Amino acid sequence: MATACESQVRPSAMADGTAIRVRRGSKQLAGRTILRDVSFDVDRGSSCAILGRSGSGKSTLLAILGLLDRFDSGDLQIADHNVGELSPAGRDEYRRRHIGFVFQRAALIRHLNVFENVAVPLRYASTVGRRELRLRVGSALASVALEGFESQRPTELSGGEQQRVAVARALVTRPTVLLADEPTGALDAATADHVISTMLSASERDGTSVVVVTHDSVIARRMERSITLVDGQA
């Protein structure tokens, strides 16, 4: 049965409440060490900023946490799995189940309306029926205060509204982890604050862990903790 319970029964953390565990993660790109023996934990339902100067490896780390890339050595555990042990197909499935992404630009699909944009990740989840899909999209849009915008096109929205749609799209699967790479880089301070608030309330409501790469110290201070990358180390 397609089920709202699915997200309640699937483990979203390790037995001790850790959602993400990185141990001695290292990554080289083009012969250069970008990440060196990075280790940290992110608890279920907590928030964390990743800081560091341009080129310090923040996006590289986020892509690895989102299973779009992998460490050359070291371990990454998300929810209840050591993801290094998953097959390529298993990683794709795990990403769909556990990870939501938000990037600097909302990257909405122009010819789809707001409802359909938010529904995209659920369309890949064959277990979600039509009624459940409608409920989930409605609740994701409510969580970013965009009820009533369902039939608008991305071009009819402000930058902040577009970014809130992108947050709703990332949250609609009720992921274990919400990863955001400079999600407010293109927004003014007040709009940025609102977008961050929507992420933090999802974290409180659903126990989603939020990891945000940012250059903005105001946003970093809104997270429970921060990790700074310097010379490839956290």
In the complex, which residues of this chain contact ligand ATP (CB under 6 A)? Answer: 29-30, 34, 52, 54-60
Q: Minimum distance from CB of 29 to ligand ATP (Å)?
A: 4
CB nearer ligand ATP, residue 106 or residue 168: 106
Q: Which does 192 bind (CB under 5 to 8 A by kind): ligand ATP, Mg ion, none?
A: none
Pairing of strands 47-51, 32-43: unpaired
In order, the DSSP letters of 29-96 are: ETTEEEEEEEEEEEETT-EEEEE--TTSSHHHHHHHHTTSS--SEEEEEETTEEGGGS-HHHHHHHHH
CB nearer Mg ion, residue 104 or residue 152: 104
Distance CA 137, CA 172 (A): 6
Q: Minimum distance from CB of 213 to Mg ion (Å)?
A: 6
How is residue 191 written in tokens?
Answer: 């709009």
Q: Minimum distance from CB of 107 to Mg ion (Å)?
A: 15
Instruction: Kindly identify the residues of this chain, within the stretch 4-43, that bind Mg ion according to CB under 5 A.
Output: none
Q: Which of 74, 26, 75, 35 is nearest to 55 (CA)?
A: 35
Q: Minimum distance from CB of 35 to Mg ion (Å)?
A: 13
Q: Which does 142 bind (CB under 5 to 8 A by kind): Mg ion, ligand ATP, none?
A: none
CB nearer ligand ATP, residue 27 or residue 164: 27
Task: Specify the 3-state DSSP secondary structure of 5.
Answer: coil
CB nearer Mg ion, residue 13 or residue 34: 34
Q: Which does 34 bind (CB under 5 to 8 A by kind): Mg ion, ligand ATP, none?
A: ligand ATP
Q: Which of 173, 176, 214 is nearest to 195 (CA)?
A: 214
How is residue 213 written in tokens?
Answer: 């790469």
Q: Minimum distance from CB of 58 to ligand ATP (Å)?
A: 4
* Binding letters toward Mg ion, positions 54-83, x by CB under 5 A: -----x------------------------
Do the Cβ atoms of 226 and 232 come closer than 8 Å?
A: no
Q: Minimum distance from CB of 91 to ligand ATP (Å)?
A: 19
Phi, psi of 88 (to 5 degrees): -55, -40
Distance CA 90, CA 69 (A): 14
Q: Footprint of Mg ion on this chain (CB under 5 A)?
A: 59
